[in-house]
Amino acid sequence: MKIDLNCDLGESFGAYTIGMDARLLPYITSANVACGYHAGDPSVMRATCVAAVSAGVAVGAHPGFPDLVGFGRRNLAVSPTEARDYITYQLGALDAFCRAAGTRLRHVKPHGALYNMAATDASLARAICEAVRDFDPALIVLGLSGSAMLSMAQEMGLPFAREVFADRAYNDDGTLVNRRLPGAMIEDEELALARVLRMVREGEVETITGKVIQIRADSVCVHGDNEHALAFVKRIREALEAAGVEVAPL
Amino acid sequence: MKIDLNCDLGESFGAYTIGMDARLLPYITSANVACGYHAGDPSVMRATCVAAVSAGVAVGAHPGFPDLVGFGRRNLAVSPTEARDYITYQLGALDAFCRAAGTRLRHVKPHGALYNMAATDASLARAICEAVRDFDPALIVLGLSGSAMLSMAQEMGLPFAREVFADRAYNDDGTLVNRRLPGAMIEDEELALARVLRMVREGEVETITGKVIQIRADSVCVHGDNEHALAFVKRIREALEAAGVEVAPL
Amino acid sequence: MKIDLNCDLGESFGAYTIGMDARLLPYITSANVACGYHAGDPSVMRATCVAAVSAGVAVGAHPGFPDLVGFGRRNLAVSPTEARDYITYQLGALDAFCRAAGTRLRHVKPHGALYNMAATDASLARAICEAVRDFDPALIVLGLSGSAMLSMAQEMGLPFAREVFADRAYNDDGTLVNRRLPGAMIEDEELALARVLRMVREGEVETITGKVIQIRADSVCVHGDNEHALAFVKRIREALEAAGVEVAPL
Amino acid sequence: MKIDLNCDLGESFGAYTIGMDARLLPYITSANVACGYHAGDPSVMRATCVAAVSAGVAVGAHPGFPDLVGFGRRNLAVSPTEARDYITYQLGALDAFCRAAGTRLRHVKPHGALYNMAATDASLARAICEAVRDFDPALIVLGLSGSAMLSMAQEMGLPFAREVFADRAYNDDGTLVNRRLPGAMIEDEELALARVLRMVREGEVETITGKVIQIRADSVCVHGDNEHALAFVKRIREALEAAGVEVAPL
């Protein structure tokens, strides 16, 4: 039994620092590195790739919308063609830093609004998968377990990995409960840990309505925005290892 | 006897169109494609790479400063490290579109102010060459004949190509006469054609002071901004071919 | 009987030129000047304001989304607060060039996707009107005749002006027929002229279903993207004047 | 005897936070607010103006180069015309938020590389002063005591204020010692405090060579990047007040 721990990294920009990348790297196995559109700049990208390689962490691309001031979190009505081209651009840019750091891109996980839109919009998901396929058909598409994004990757024969969230509630259909609704965030740490273990080991999760549904987990998404988040990542890793689950890259 | 004809392409951006790329492609052999920093966007980059491949024209990267409003023409006091990272980013981004179009990057020619600064600043030239080497040591560095950029490429063992200009006057030391000085531009087309032929076939050029100096030409830089420029490119190509010079990519 | 002719101006950017501003100015009475977000740059803004003043044309702000590569034409899910702040920023920036050119802002017309979204989204329309009111409650809100934008301006006591289109078909409820639908564009010039005269003089228009509805016109939106469009603007102006309608700013 | 304490504020951007603006405001009397070019965004600008007004702090514009990734710290070879237009744009944008917050711009202090370049380049200083004069000739130009910027403001009849630095060494000619040289920064807090008091009360400072020169101080520049800096601002204010100097806006 094996699980990946992925986290968004390299989101600093110029004089601006976000995240505690250096302190997180020892605990995660995959880094989703920002590519300069919603966050990140070339020097941050280089440093992040070098640090990830040094920590033995797999590097993936974390492409987003060209919306730095909105941090890629706002829906933008791009055409599928534009989305495809934005992904191609960002994949190439990040892979250049991977090469310079002695590694290659391993996975792709869209960021923010692009991630959410592609989880339900099949034409957008197709456009993203086309960019991935044309760049390197061995890249792993990392997406929300049960999403249109992963269905499309599967349909197109791309390797994919299913991501689950420790701190989010699920609807009965396996989608995430909208953050604005009550109960969307799992704030009780013990409960969150128990849910992660259950999803990883038993392949099931209790939804917001109390129903138990099946869920497949190849990777757990973690966050490193503050001391509290960092401490929780350590606990997740320890709990998984204590339960005999191997924590390893995809 | 062989010569390359290179031209800057793919400098349109979003709703903005510059250049007559489609009409120029039949006459040139190398395209320097903008990479989204000083000009170009992902959709323009893709279309330009596809069109170049279709026309049998070699694709090179034309990286510039992150100064869209200045079109990369203004000196920016970047550190060598920043320059290296900007080049890496742009090489990777453009190469991704090359791959999608079924080709690979063949050369690199910095744009505008970056080109001019690297022609005389050895530390900047080194930084650019390091980015090229780490990305792909087989990429050809295309630069001003006699520049610090090419000396550095040579010193670092990178393949390089020497570029000459049909429409520019030269100083006695082989540098270009500053555009703001009288006589800097060769406006007489017959004279310009004769100078190109002499540089390519005889390896010499008459400087602005009337002295004849040696100059090595692997590629002639041409422009396609307007009808007049386009017509002149055709004439250069015809004159070269009529003189028995093979016009071919680097 | 009086009508304003408005046109988007100042949409060039850096090395990129769009539009035929100098040739259009003699025929229009209001210029909607881009403010640097979706198009325009500070030097273009200054030159456009100076040229408008010199031609006796009223200057208005044409604020858009911060999406230069998309020319402000793509819906962006901004919050009302963000929209308000983007409008405030752009109003101030353009007004500074108006002052330097010896005039002041007269009206505001949102651009592209922002215009379309605010035509039907009351909370967005309110946010825009709040920015206008806090900047200068005497500014005229120029919007689609019958839109949520103008209802909100009216509700908030701001002066407003109703815009009609010469080249667009209308639905029975007074909204514009979506550009992607057949018949959305009025391509017959004689018909378009006749429709403009009817809207301006009789306050009515025949919809796409053949029904005649009432429509109020304070300003006709014209375009200046190409020779054909420019010639049509001249014809509209001549036809209006020949019909005894005074063509004058709002 | 009276002195102003000025600090750069509003340099956060989107999801990125820099500075401790709220905690600094009680101790300063003038805020130099970033205008969206090198830092700041419309929402940050609004919030900063509101907070400054609420704290009784005067708001000034802190315009910079359009170089967000470089935080406006890198020399950019703009023409005087471009510089003038960039200043006009930023003055207008920030003033719109001042109006909405119930105040008006009081001063202008260029940022970073623009500040440094204009301190010695008279044509750049003139361009900036022209933008200020055309926007509002009552705006106070805040610049380095003894700089070309202030000479130009004086020559053009603009009000100006002379700024001194607590933590920087001075050359014999009154310019700042380059940060890269040893001794450029005054790291001993007691010494820095004593120097501030001497500059403000006695109009003199000991240069890096040990010579005592005259210096005129209307405002002391302070920083708020970290806890240490914040504590030092409090000490400066207390020391000035204890010495009977009134701390008040320009």
pLDDT at A178 over 90: no
Determine the pLDDT at residue C175. Answer: 87
pLDDT tens-digit map of D70-113: 999 999 999 999 999 999 999 999 999 999 999 999 999 999 99
What is residue C27's predicted lDDT score, i.e. its pLDDT?
Answer: 97
pLDDT band at C180 (very low <50, low <70, confident <90, very high): confident
Cβ-contact C90, C37 below 8 angstroms = yes
Would you say A164 and A190 are in contact if contact means Cβ atoms under 8 Å apart? no
B69 Cβ under 8 Å from any chain C Cβ:
yes
Burial of C230 (0-12, 13-18, 19+ CB in 10 A): middle
What length is written for chain B? 250
Is there a contact between D42 and B41 (Cβ–Cβ < 8 Å)?
no
Spell out which residues of chain A touch residue D14, defining contact as CB-CB under 8 Å: 68-71
| Whole-angstrom distance, CA of residue C12 vs CA of residue C38 | 10
Which chains, if any, share at least 3 CB pairs under 8 A with chain C? A, B, D
Specify the pLDDT at position C178: 86
- Domain architecture of chain B: domains with CATH: 2-247 (3.20.20.370)
Q: Does residue C80 have a pLDDT over 90? A: yes
Nearest Cβ partner for C18 among B16, B41, B70: B16
According to DSSP, the residues that pair with D168 across neighbouring strands are: D185
Question: So what's the pLDDT on residue A247?
Answer: 97
Minimum distance, in Å, between the CA of residue D89 and any CA atom of chain A: 19
**Which chain B residue shows the shortest CA-CA distance from D82?**
B70
What SS3 state is found at D77?
Answer: coil
Separation CA C145–CA C162 (nearest Å):
4
Contact between chains at A67 and C77 (C-beta distance less than 8 A): no
pLDDT value at residue A58: 98
pLDDT digits (tens, 9 = 90+) for A27-49: 999 999 999 999 999 999 999 99
In what helix (H) or strand (E) does residue A199 lie, and over which residues does it extend?
helix A189-202
- Which residues of chain B make contact with A42, given a CB cutoff of 8 A? 82, 85-86, 88-89
Q: For residue C167, give the DSSP letter.
A: S
pLDDT mean over C60-79: 98
Q: Pick from C41, C88, C99: which is nearest to D46 by CB?
A: C88
What is the overall mean pLDDT for chain A? 96
Q: Are D205 and D195 in contact (CB under 8 A)?
A: yes
Share of chain C above pLDDT 90, in %: 92
Q: Which of B69, B78, B113 sits opposite D74 (nearest CB)?
A: B78
Which residue numbers in chain B have pLDDT < 50? none
D178 has a pLDDT exceeding 90: no
CA dist., res. C165 & res. C149, Å (int):
16
Judged by average pLDDT, the poorest of B14-23, B80-89, D24-33, D180-189 is D180-189
Cβ neighbour number for residue B92 with a 10 Å cutoff: 29
Strand partners, B163: B144, B219
Per-residue three-class SS string for D212-231: EEECCCCEEEECCCCHHHHH
Q: Give the rounded distance of the alpha carbon of B238 from its chain centre.
A: 20
pLDDT of amino acid D224: 84
What's the pLDDT at A175?
87
The residue of chain A with its CA nearest to that of D18 is A16
Given 3-state DSSP classes, what are the helix, strand and coil percentages for chain C, each rounded to the nearest 5?
A: 40, 20, 40
| D67 contacts in chain B (CB < 8 Å) | 66-67, 76
Give the pLDDT score at C224: 84
Contact call for residues B127 and B115 (beta carbons, < 8 A): no
Distance CA A52, CA A98 (A): 10
d(CA B190, CA A105): 52
**What is d(CA B39, CA B44) in angstroms, rounded to the nearest whole number?**
10
Q: B36 to chain A: nearest residue by CA?
A: A89
> Is D63 within 8 Å of D114 (Cβ atoms)?
yes
Q: Smallest Cβ distance to D96: which of C36, C43, C88?
A: C88
DSSP A25: G
- Three-class SS of C180-208: CCCCCECCCHHHHHHHHHHHHHHCEEECC
Residue C49 CA to its chain's centroid (Å): 16
pLDDT average, residue stretch A155-170: 96
pTM of the model: 0.97
pLDDT value at residue C50: 98
Residue B49's pLDDT is what? 98
E-strand ranges in C41-179 read 58-62, 107-108, 140-144, 160-165
Q: How confident is the model at residue C226 (pLDDT cuts 50, 70, 90)?
A: confident
pLDDT value, residue A226: 87
- Span D22-40, average pLDDT: 98
Please give the DSSP secondary-structure letter assigned to residue A176: B
Contact at CB, A41 and D14, closer than 8 angstroms: no
Given a cut of 90, whether residue C179 has pLDDT beyond it is: no
| Residue among A88, A94, A96 whose CB faces B91 most closely | A96
A5 at interface of D, judged by CB pairs closer than 8 A: no
HEC sequence for B114-165: HHHHHHHCHHHHHHHHHHHHHHCCCCEEEEECCCHHHHHHHHCCCCEEEEEE
C122 φ/ψ angles, rounded to the nearest 5 degrees: -65, -35
Q: Residue B73: list chain C partners with CB under 8 A.
A: 15
Over its C-alpha atoms, chain B yields an Rg (Å, rounded) of 17
CB contact under 8 A, A15 and D71: yes
Q: What pLDDT, on a 0 to 100 scale, did the predictor assign at position B180? A: 85
**How confident is residue D219, by pLDDT bands cut at 50, 70 and 90?**
very high
Got the DSSP string for D97-154?
HHHHTT----EE---HHHHHHHHH-HHHHHHHHHHHHHH-TTPEEEEETT-HHHHHHH
C112 CB-side CA count, 13 A: 22
Region C151-178 average pLDDT: 94
H/E segment holding residue C213 = strand C212-214
Q: Per residue in A207-230, pLDDT tens?
A: 999 999 999 999 999 998 889 999
Give the position of tokens 């049909």: B166
Query: How far apart, in whole angstroms, are the C-alpha atoms of residue B53 and residue B43?
Result: 16
What confidence score (pLDDT) does residue C168 get?
93
Nearest to A45 by CA among A94, A100, A109, A104: A94
